[in-house]
Structure 1
């Protein structure tokens, strides 16, 4: 099978029912947009965790700020908390504090371990959050919704006809078989490890387990061995699973296919006749050529040769190195009977089922050992002499052919609101689905059931057997020589293999409906119905498939959660937290702790250093950001002994003029030594004694 092409992938919002109405919301977009979204999500997560950490640090500081005297370790820890450094930075500084104070105070480690753990956990949580935020955007093996303008059923339009002999239809069947055969062999296997090519459908396969039993027909027609019958029953399969549909609960559909086969007697129901007497030859006959006739029912449209259900050329059987298959079918539905090929004998009489007869001509297939399989039975020894020095004993089949009779039954179900599902009887495949046979079904359900019916009609046991046998894989080469061990139940493997092929074609056929059959065979475009019913249009919009790459899916819920949390933590930290500080100052319980939070701020600590140096006249001492009056210049803080510096326009001893980086208000300038005053409105400076005391505090706003 091939993956759905990018051009047929629906872009934008849709809801994946499999994940629920809330979690299933996704936005399918191109790779570029998805990559940008991943980057934005990473930024949002970083912003959110940063502001959340600020809130955590604020709470920690408030809980510890009880106002009691404490040692230097505690006070430095409070100062570090007040900086609200990033978790990793705070962890590093916290370790430094512990290391410096470990021998200078008591229980330094015990008083530090909580923040060690908290910062480490928060840093790890930040990494995890960043990683998980990337899962908001799926980048591979995505469930996508198919959207194609060519969607629709294969129906004859006005002015043309449509039949099995149509070349476009035959071309499509050939391509469908070429895709389905390897898919069935590789993907319908037990176990969870399947090749990558199997993951193009929402569910790669369904379990098909054979069950052995007695003859499903009259005992007299089955070969006499233990349990000559086998059944492969799919059980009721949800169309949302196996076909990848996106139907809501009240619109769900289910389908069941049950195939029962039995190994039939051959010699008792077959005769030899002269090929020249048979009027339906398709090639020139060889002298003395004989055919083997199988008598399992009356073949239609053959006149006096009606008793010949199938025939095999014995000449070809002696020169063909490999298996060949021939089939005939009888439909059970009266409306389909016109397409039946034969009418079975009483021993094969079947009620409420479709019947298929499969003849496998065993021909000149050679085996290196006797074959005990009752269908491929081979016990005729032959001394094969390839040269004077090369000979061996090989074994040929006991009879030129083997016969298998198979009955197929089908069951269709649809959900109903407030009621149990409606199901048909397990019976033959109906001819059509309509509101009469399914009175409570919605238009969408009618369209879906009809599509399942179309898929079942186009791929039957009749078609599956013709695609070949799994036993051919045991040939040593193309010469029809089986050297590998041949199991005694290979015939069961063949029946199961045909069913796997049928289900694989179901999946491909139904997916092709959504993409458009013309996407596979352009010549089918004129046979695709364009005047779709409401249900058929809805059916075009429910096909899910798996897209390995080329697009991205953004989870709407995940995106909303990340954006909401980022916005919440950011706004709470920037706005709400300020409101709490403002409100808390009016409450006796919170006011002292909030004041301590403010005073441990880096700007307030800086103010205290300048005041200790007797620099600046400060206002707004009880707010987060203090300020000096009139933009007074301040000295650069230094580890040296506090000293005065030039904070105004002045002249050094060497005559150089010093101008402060930040200008001050024009007028009287007070030097830091409070002895020299310059009036910058004049060109000449005059020395006067300052009447303004250094460090004098003024009310806020002055």
Structure 2
């Protein structure tokens, strides 16, 4: 799972599910909505103009119903209003009769224009849904199927000792893979000032688990062991909600999980033994032993680390990088049958009782520092001449020790109860036996200890120092005085990433087929937990907010119904109160199609019907027409069509002809009268 692409289609549940997160971390996509509104306002008038232009190029029709759609398209401001008017026109003329070959033209003239605003409205609706929070395709939380889920079985002592068996090999491969993933992911996605756009950071339901860092912590051991009595580093995650932060999709069975890590640079010369040795060329060398505890299973060794000087020819060896010696000590609890994973037993001064103990011995004796380093962990002040009259500096100690104590706490938010801070095993035992957990909560606690204890999600991370990024040509460039803090924060980030990864991998299972045989699902609560893990991906899945979609459709339907029936409801209300309908009648008379009615000429024996409605009609849908200009009189072919009609109707051209004939006759009579009058005047004058 080095990226979100590793979530395969077979891992993801396709269907309806409820996201139990209390709040969403995503902001509304307001810019996209504004762009959509602007695009629709500009493109719809263009579409209307094109439609009217195309319809105007077709042979002219004399029907009122053929003119009404053009009027509606021309004078409406939105595709929704245009669609509504065209639908009302088509419905109002559904019983009108045509004549001759135009009987079958009703749907072509009336209903076909409806498709244009309808398709446009559907397109805008789809665009609105895709550009809003109703549908998301970027940073989508998905629910994993959990078909191959399980946790690694707990090995017995014999299995652990025989490190060459299949279990240990597969487990080591798996831990190595999530450790490397943690290094890459943590450096890309943690400690960023803003949300990262890298696909790498779209793997978990929360990109990073936040925590606080304080540099005023007391020494976690006996004060004489630390370089600083105060001023040490403490990293505290606070309460991590397993639902919102770790993606375990249950609110009623969620658990709060806390991790506190306190680290301090230690006195390198404390409780050490120096042994003189001889080098390969007979030169005098020495060895340092750190007597800070015992290793009972290694011949009762009374030291936890050792290092040889090997100072001769140091510069000729070049820059070989950093190495590290680590030790761990876990406190156990007899209530939980976990085998010990401790590597040593600390001496009394380090033996704290309320946490797990870790030693990190940094070996930097093979590193050439370009400048003196004042950082307590990387401290280097021993000068040594180098080539080209340069002076390099060596580490002040063969090993520079640093100690950490990790503490854990569980809380049951539904009972308002928490365990005391303790090591991972004692804290887990206290949670399972003292917090009155539900069966599902108990399974979640087991999943967390598996992520930390079984998968080694601890501060002891493989050596991959951030200081390596500032080396050049075999020489370590200058480091800040708080480099030890930077390195520990990086390790802490990697630990949190591994916990996130282990939760997701519980539902997905390890990628190695050979490792699947070592997975166990103890009971039905674990089985139910398998299908309750969320992950995150982008681009390959879409998440639809059903609540938002239902709300949008519901409110939209309510507005549409109010628009449709408001006039009728007002009339009904006034009728019940026996009030005058003046306001409603004025509203109807000023309607677009009522005003348009006044510009039309009716045929013989024809009259308007439904005059009190939004769409006035006639009995014959082709029996009226709009008066046209005189220059188009010769282009009309209505005379031939008139002969085919079973019922004669007056067309616009005939009305124009009658009017012109009357005008010409009137002019002729006036001309004759004027001529006669002129003749009489001439005769009288004579």
User: TM-score scaled by structure 1?
Assistant: 0.68
1:388-427 alignment runs, 5 A limit: 390-416=388-414, 419-420=415-416, 422-427=417-422
Counterpart CA distance in 1 for 2:79 and 2:127 is: 18
Q: What's the counterpart of residue 508 of structure 1? A: 501
Residues in 2 aligned to 1:345 and 1:542: alpha-carbon distance in whole angstroms:
44
Q: Distance in 2 between matches of 1:2 and 1:89?
A: 43
C-alpha displacement of 1:190: 4.3
The answer to whether 1:203 aligns with 2:206 is yes
Q: 1:471 aligns with which of 467, 474, 491?
A: 467
User: 1:169-207: CA deviations, max 9, x gaps?
Assistant: 111111111111122222221422435222322222213
Instruction: Name the counterpart of 1:86.
Output: 76
Change (3 A) 1:241 1:613: closer
CA distance in 2, matches of 1:133, 1:400: 61
- Structure 1 285/615 Cα, relative in aligned 2: closer, same or farther at 3 Å? farther
The CA distance in 2 between the partners of 1:558 and 1:202, in whole Å, is 21
Change (3 A) 1:83 1:268: closer
Matching of residue 541 in structure 1 with residue 543 in structure 2 = no
**CA distances 1:5-56 after superposition (whole Å, capped 9, x unpaired):** 3332221111222246xx99xxxxxxxxxxxxx9xx99xx99xx99xxxxxx
1:359 Cα offset (Å): 1.3
Report deviation, 1:426: 0.4
Picking from 542, 545, 550, the partner of 1:552 is 542
When the two chains are superposed, the root-mean-square deviation of aligned CA atoms in Å is 4.3
SS in 1 for 2:360: strand
The separation in 1 between residues aligned to 2:268 and 2:259, in whole angstroms, is 28
Alignment pair present for 1:525 and 2:520: no
Q: Identify the range of structure 1 (307-316 vs 436-445) with the bigger mean alpha-carbon deviation.
A: 307-316
Residue in 2 aligned with 1:324?
Answer: 323
1:72 paired residue number: none
Residues 1:204 and 1:587: Cα distance change in structure 2 (over 3 Å) = same
Tell me by how many angstroms 1:341 deviates. 2.4
Write out aligned runs for 1:68-467 (5 A). Answer: 85-87=75-77, 131=128, 134-135=131-132, 136-155=134-153, 166-196=168-198, 197-205=200-208, 206-223=210-227, 227=230, 229-248=232-251, 250-273=252-275, 291-303=287-299, 306-315=301-310, 318=314, 319=317, 321-335=320-334, 338-385=340-387, 390-416=388-414, 419-420=415-416, 422-430=417-425, 433=429, 437-438=433-434, 440-458=436-454, 460=456, 464-467=460-463
Structure 1 residues 566 and 216: CA distance shift in structure 2, 3 A: closer
Aligned residues: 549
The counterpart of 1:9, out of the listed 9, 12, 32, is 12
Deviation at 1:512?
0.9
Q: Distance in 1 between matches of 2:621 and 2:530?
A: 75
Q: Take 1:128 and 1:17, find their aligned partners in 2: how far apart are those partners?
A: 28
Is contact 1:139-1:553 (8 Å) kept?
Answer: yes
CA–CA distance in 2 between the matches of 1:6 and 1:572? 44
State which drifts further: 196-205 or 440-449.
Answer: 196-205
Q: 1:499 aligns with which of 487, 492, 498?
A: 492
**In the TM superposition, what whole-angstrom CA distance separates every residue of 1:520-552 from its partner, at most 9, and x where no partner exists?**
33221101114x423212322222222111011
Cα 1:662–1:588 shift into 2, 3 Å: farther
Contact 1:459–1:502 (CA<8 Å) still a contact in 2?
Answer: no
Residue 88 of structure 2: aligned partner: none
Contact 1:210–1:492 (8 Å) recurs in 2: no
Q: 1:638 to 1:525 in 2, by over 3 A?
A: same
Corresponding position of 2:558:
568
Match of 2:647 among 648, 664, 678: 664
In structure 2, do the counterparts of structure 1 residues 443 and 564 end up closer, same or farther at CA, with 3 Å as the change threshold?
same
**Deviation of residue 578 (structure 1)?**
4.4
Tell me, in whole angstroms, the C-alpha distance in 2 between the residues paired with 1:447 and 1:90. Answer: 53
Q: Are 2:620 and 1:637 aligned? A: no
- Inter-CA distance 326–626: structure 2 relative to 1 (3 Å threshold): closer
Give how far 1:382 is off: 1.0
